[in-house]
Amino acid sequence: AMSNWQSRDMQPVKPLGDAARLLPAEGGEREYIGYRVAKDGVPTFLYRMNGTEVEDTLRPASDGKNFQRTTKMKGETKTEVLSW
């Protein structure tokens, strides 16, 4: 995506595929706040759901085949392994 971020005179980036996956949704509508990137390059997405701030991180699981999703909300941390 760098070509789209730096300068518009470059060709747009082509997607790597069209097999989009949705994360499990709980609770309600989300209001996007932003994100931060850890030193290892993994982003944590920040949003509000029903007035509560949520931190949502998705990284490769230790088995190399699935994803580990960690959500923090109201001082509680929940970790789950996701596969599609």
pTM over 0.85: no
Task: Give me the chain's average pLDDT, please.
Answer: 82
User: What pLDDT digit, counting tens, does each position of 14-53 carry?
Assistant: 766 777 666 666 677 889 999 999 999 999 999 998 889 9
pLDDT surpassing 90 at residue 5: no
How far are the Cα atoms of 1, 14, 35, 74, 80 from residue 8, in angstroms, in the given order?
11, 14, 23, 41, 39
- What local confidence, expressed as pLDDT, does residue 34 receive? 93
pLDDT surpassing 80 at residue 10: no
**What is the rounded distance in angstroms from the CA atom of residue 22 to the CA atom of residue 30?**
14
